[in-house]
Amino acid sequence: MGRKLLLDKAHIENIRFYDVYRREGGYRSVEKALKTMAPDVVTDEVKKSGLRGRGGAGFPTGMKWSFLAKPEGVPRYLVVNADESEPGTFKDRYLMEFIPHLLIEGMIVSSFALGSKRSYIYIRGEYAWIVDILEQAIAEAKNNGWLGKNILGSGFDCEIYVQRGAGAYICGEETALLESLEGKRGNPRIKPPFPAIKGLWDCPTVVNNVETIAAVVPIINEGGEEYAKIGTGKSTGTKLISACGNIKKQGVYEIDMTISVEEFIYSDEYCGGIANGKRLKACIPGGSSVPILPANLLLKTAKGEKRMMTYESLADGGFATGSMMGSGGFIVLDETQCVVRHTYTLARFYRHESCGQCSPCREGTGWMEKILLNIEKGKGKMSDIDLLWDIQRKIEGNTICPLGDAAAWPVAAAIRHFRDEFEWHITNPDDAVRRNYGLMHYADILTVVAS
Amino acid sequence: MAEVPKLFKVTIDNITIEVAPGTTVLNAARQIGGDVTPPAMCYYSKLQGSGGKCRTCLVEVAAGSAADPRPMPKLVASCRTNVMDGMIVKNITSERVKDARAGVVEFLLLNHPLDCPICDQAGECHLQDLGYEHGKEGTRYEFSRRTFEKEDIGPYIQLHMTRCILCYRCTYVADQLTNNRVHGILDRGDHAEISTYISKAIDNDFSGNMIDVCPVGALTDKTFRFKNRVWFTKPVDAHRDCDKCCGKVTLWNRGDEVLRVTARKDQWGEVQSYDGKPGWICNTCRFDKKHLNDWVIEGPMKVNRHSVISANHYVETVKPQETIAEVMGGRQPRLMMDIHNISDVNKPGVHLSELPGPATGETFNPQQLNGSES
Ligand SMILES: Cc1cc2nc3c(=O)[nH]c(=O)nc-3n(C[C@H](O)[C@H](O)[C@H](O)COP(=O)(O)O)c2cc1C
Ligand code: SF4
Ligand code: SF4
Ligand code: FES
């Protein structure tokens, strides 16, 4: 069994409520930090832990915190990103729904470290019922003296507010989130300036993912160095993975980043293998924005090494033969799945969710969707594949925010690894509407070319 | 002793210039001028916060600065990137830029209706210029183009959402020039549109400036609608005493008739500044002063020789060098004929300007001309 730090107590009955949470050792990290540590020392512990942002980009959290500008007399803000709208990702929901006090506890400690007296949770609008859960947890924490003025006599004041989004994936992008939080249209800002200098209401701001902030609790309780001992390399600590698709046991798992992808999919502790006796065809290991990999490249890297569930190993091979940890949305496709249809579905999502500010993303996403639908319906042309490639290439890197890249990458990866399947759709238009291409060679063991 | 502010050296397409810190790459390039200047469809120097959206101004930064000469991995929007000392920028000397820009032009034209023949903006449209200079021929788009419900946004301004490139300039005008913005961008992505809230008409003293900043024919002047093509008008600079605005305008005339009034534009197509202040004009000057005697005429507007509007305007032109004699080695060209003498369409005897209406076939009496055919 791997170590569990976040969800180890999630199954205890009524852990959602303050009394049980406190009885199980909750809010110890607040006591420790506020009574015995200076804010900078808390940041140092987070730095030592090697914690990387769990929202998708994997940026080292301690470093992000140390970039926060601290001009005299200007408020600073911590904003927790609970927008979680990436297809395949539903880990934050689990955490907030079942163990909301863990997030509140992490927020108090983090707010203390950053000097944020008003901290916000920006939550996706569709998580309406979780707003109530969080607000109840905040009220309980406040009634018990963990929020409000002069917490634990430390002189530190802090309030937490929950703000609901209105249903836009783009509001998960941190600067769009800040715009939305300010009550404006959720368009990503043009950077620089970065939020660490000018964020919420032009004040220095840190935006972190729910899971990132929750992980601060065990880091403070056990110490940054202890936390860094879990995992491998630069992938320290534990990571929540939301697994879905054609597996036996869909759900949210906490892994300690020492296991292989194969073990994660097939072991009974995690996904329990592919459902209905089918074979694995492909997988998107980190949420819809990261490149899809065929079974053979998923389980082993191009060098023939076992692929591990770590930031480094999932990215091994770059975009040519690797993928990314992303936000931990693990989507498994079995041999009955159609990669073209799947890519179309994603393209449709990104077209719908583009904010429309910059021309390549606004126009390119819609164009790709239309071409993919044609191919899927057996109306494609051979030249469409190269056209798709050219469109995604002209979007990638040329936009304001990473949504453009996120829309381009799935299309690029699907063509890169599953070109045969696209071509089959075009050359067999009648079959393409009746049946799927199947597994074909996508699970065949690759011969490693010595370089 | 007053401290001399240190200037930053920046090299754009191998031309080096010194600019004040805080200058954007685009504005540095504008100081150099010519082809070195990236096209800008959304940035507008007089509108705070504008730019960064259309991506036509993307450039390659080959060296970030003298202190940190690493190249920037991605192309950057030159309108929103400040120069650093020792920065090396590639615009038209970069294949990557040309490729990406052609891509942006293609994206911008993807859903554009291409209805230039019936668009009032034709001839002064930045998208036309952009497509001509940086685009590729033909389209690879095989789907029907996006259309929108027509929307009435008041008595003065006509909105053609199909032509909009979502540069956001008009929303900045409304934010920064009028005291209450009532229009904005609704919805998102490729279905985003300019709209007034619950179709509330845009009714504000300075709202007409949205027409001037709109790079395409999405916002046009209703009082000028279909009156004339811009290149048939005679633009003259004029002014009047106005208690609301600077009163400095361009009148677009035909004969003694004032067809349209706009603010004066600078060489980048932006509203001209006077003493550092943008010369926005009020709606009274723009829409209500349509008589020549409302205005003090200053003289013909200076039209860029390359603009289609300059057709038939001979102000400030330079007589081209006589090259024929040079090419011919001093000999006289042999073939020189008067087109009027050989054309059977036109008859020198018919004075077109004296006709009551447009000329027709009847005017030239074709039966008589081509008698054998009838
Ligand atoms: C289109 C888009 C959507 C995003 N959605 C989310 C999201 O739902 N939740 C999240 O935590 N981060 C999201 N991010 C990443 C955030 O911009 C930001 O990097 C993150 O919140 C930083 O937190 P971290 O450092 O703790 O990971 C998104 C980014 C993009 C470009
Ligand atoms: S990349 Fe897409 S989502 Fe991001 S700012 Fe541009 S149009 Fe908006
Ligand atoms: S209407 Fe014109 S000015 Fe306004 S966003 Fe569209 S193109 Fe830009
Ligand atoms: S002018 Fe720079 S992005 Fe539009």
In a domain, B356, yes or no: no
Examine the pLDDT at A346 and tell me if it is beyond 80.
yes
Comparing B371 with B185, the larger pLDDT belongs to: B185
Examine the pLDDT at B344 and tell me if it is beyond 90.
no
- Do B195 and B243 sit in the same domain of this protein? no
Q: Which residues contact B118 (CB under 8 A, 6 or more apart)?
A: none
Nearest residue (by CA) to ligand 4, atom 1, is: B40
> Which of these three, B55, B82, B105, is where a domain ends?
B105
Average pLDDT over residues A314-337: 95
What is the predicted pLDDT for the residue at B336? Answer: 47
The rounded Å distance from CA B161 to ligand 3 centre is: 8
In a domain, B350, yes or no: no
> Cis (ω within 30 of 0) for the bond into B39?
no
Phi/psi for A90 (5° steps) reads: -150, 30
Q: Residues of B numbered 195-224 whose beta carbons fall under 8 angstroms of chain A's beta carbons: which are they?
A: none
Nearest residue (by CA) to ligand 1, atom 28, is: A173
> Which of these three, B186, B221, B256, is where a domain ends?
B221
Partner-chain contact A360 B75, CB within 8 Å = no
- Do B47 and B67 sit in the same domain of this protein? yes
What is the predicted pLDDT for the residue at B371? Answer: 43
Exposure letters A116-152 (e unless 16+ CB within 10 A, then b): bbbbbbbbbeebeebbebbeebbebbbeeebbeeebe
Query: What do you get for the CA distance between the two ends of chain B, in Å?
Result: 91
Closest CA to A407 of A287, A288, A244, A283: A288
In a domain, B335, yes or no: no
What is the predicted pLDDT for the residue at B179? Answer: 80
- Do B22 and B97 sit in the same domain of this protein? yes
Backbone CA torsion sign across A386, A391, A392, A396:
positive
Disruptive mutation site among A169, A359, A372, A373 for chain B (greatest number of B CBs within 10 Å): A359
In a domain, B353, yes or no: no
- Do B30 and B99 sit in the same domain of this protein? yes
Domain with B139 in it = 111-221
The rounded Å distance from CA B55 to ligand 4 centre is: 5
Residue ranges lining ligand 1, Cβ < 6 Å? A 53-57, 59, 61, 64, 81, 83-86, 169-170, 172-174, 207-209, 212, 401-403, 406
- Which residues of chain A make contact with B164, given a CB cutoff of 8 A? none
In a domain, B217, yes or no: yes
The rounded Å distance from CA B36 to ligand 3 centre is: 26
- Do B185 and B214 sit in the same domain of this protein? yes
CATH of the domain at B118: 3.30.70.20
**Residue A366 corresponds to which tokens in the numbers above?**
């819609």
Examine the pLDDT at A102 and tell me if it is beyond 90.
yes
What is the predicted pLDDT for the residue at B347? Answer: 63
Q: Closest ligand 3 atom to the C-alpha of B42?
A: 8
- Do B172 and B200 sit in the same domain of this protein? yes
In a domain, B344, yes or no: no
> Which of these three, B292, B310, B328, is where a domain ends?
B310
- Ordered structural domains, chain A, with CATH: 18-229 (3.40.50.11540), 235-334 (3.10.20.600), 339-434 (1.20.1440.230)
- Do B132 and B208 sit in the same domain of this protein? yes
- Do B101 and B116 sit in the same domain of this protein? no
Partner-chain contact A358 B52, CB within 8 Å = yes
Give this prediction's pTM: 0.88
HSE of B225, CA atoms in CB hemisphere, 13 A: 12
Determine if ligand 2 sits within 6 Å of the CB of residue A362.
Answer: yes
Q: Choose the weakest-confidence range: B55-69, B192-206, B312-326.
A: B312-326
The rounded Å distance from CA B254 to ligand 2 centre is: 44
- Do B206 and B237 sit in the same domain of this protein? no
**Residue A318 corresponds to which tokens in the numbers above?**
């770059």
- Do B264 and B210 sit in the same domain of this protein? no
- Do B169 and B236 sit in the same domain of this protein? no
Average pLDDT over residues B40-45: 96
**Of A358, A365, A366, which is closest to B53 when you measure between CB atoms?**
A358
Partner-chain contact A387 B140, CB within 8 Å = yes
Exposure letters A251-284 (e unless 16+ CB within 10 A, then b): ebbbbbbbbbbbbbbbeeebbbbbeeeeebbbbb
Average pLDDT over residues A258-280: 95
Kindly state whether B105 is in contact with chain A, defined as any CB-CB distance less than 8 angstroms: no
In a domain, B194, yes or no: yes
pLDDT class for B341, splitting at 50, 70, 90? Answer: very low
CATH of the domain at B40: 3.10.20.740
Partner-chain contact A363 B103, CB within 8 Å = no
Partner-chain contact A359 B100, CB within 8 Å = no
Partner-chain contact B107 A185, CB within 8 Å = no
Examine the pLDDT at A265 and tell me if it is beyond 70.
yes
pLDDT one-digit tens code per residue, B280-322? 999 999 999 999 999 999 988 877 766 777 766 655 666 666 6
In a domain, B368, yes or no: no
DSSP-based three-state secondary structure for A351: helix
The rounded Å distance from CA B48 to ligand 3 centre is: 16
Q: In 10 A of CB B207, how many CB atoms?
A: 26
Number of folded domains that form chain B: 3
| Residue of chain B whose Cα is closest to the Cα of A404 | B189
- Which residues of chain A make contact with B104, given a CB cutoff of 8 A? 359-360, 394, 398
- Do B82 and B159 sit in the same domain of this protein? no
